[in-house]
Homo-oligomer: A and B are copies of this chain.
């Protein structure tokens, strides 16, 4: 029933990896992952990370995956974060230079690299000309005052709100989870009842963006040459399926080994393949 990831990967020229639950977890990079990634690179595969994590820049994310011999397995341009779509949106659509944000200082990268000024929402004054509100990360601010600030800002001003990570929740340690910025966005959005601009899987637009990036490296790349690897049916597999590329569910993260078939049947989201992990 379960496939060997190594054998499966042979059929594709390009592989999109989700990060958390596939390549790493709260303790760090998963056992054996660097070795498999190294083999893939040596075998000529083009590998990318496609992630909803907008907590820091692709450059900083690169440092997580260091191979003893090959060095950075995912150079900056191989890391496609939903934050990059948020950055492009801000660059194209924001008319005032200051963007208020919720998130860690590192996540402000996605505002600043759009040529805009990032200001923590808690430091914004009523007199500031704010062009947009960016919800970037669940850390780096004080939830109660800042969630209330966000709601009141949106009651006063009609500005775009961009959510750089569509996830509602993320795994932390053991079996525990934490609310991600997408969950906070749902709460804020429901109160003025406006429409936020969300980026990230399962939106096929992120996969489509990764496809453009990969096509620049491999002219003539076809969808059937690509495999999307993820641990979450609701984001990775839905997104990959919608974009029409092959998808493989790995059981090293969000989806439990004991109940994956139940979860597939209950959700109606069907991966093309299932592997225990990428080290199999």
A residues near B (Cβ < 8 Å) are 88-89, 91-93, 138, 142-144, 147-148, 151-152, 154-156, 158-161, 168-169, 175-179, 183-184, 186-187, 190-197, 203-205, 208-209, 223-224, 234, 238, 241-245, 264-270, 272
Contacts and interface: CB of A to CB of B under 8 A. Distances in A.
Contacts of A272: 93
Most central of A168, A190, A223 by chain B CB within 10 Å? A190
Contacts of A191: 168-169, 177, 179, 183
Given A204-B205, A223-B92, A152 B176 contact: yes
Nearest to A156: B175
B208 A154 contact: no
12 contacts: A92-B224, A92-B245, A93-B272, A148-B178, A148-B179, A155-B176, A158-B268, A161-B268, A179-B191, A194-B269, A205-B205, A208-B209
A265 to B, nearest CB: 5
Contacts of A148: 176-179
Nearest to A183: B187
A155 B175 contact: yes
Taking the full assembly, how many copies of this chain does it contain? 4
A196 B268 contact: yes
Contacts of A158: 264-265, 268, 270
B89 A244 contact: yes
A142 B238 CA distance: 30
A63 to B, nearest CB: 27
Contacts of A168: 190-191
B151 A197 contact: no
B160 A195 contact: no
A259 B143 CA distance: 32
Given A92-B223, A148-B179, A270 B186 contact: no
Given A183-B190, A187-B179, A154 B268 contact: yes
A224 B89 CA distance: 12
A177 B195 contact: no
A245 to B, nearest CB: 7
Contacts of A194: 266-269
Given A143-B143, A160-B241, A160-B270, A190 B195 contact: no
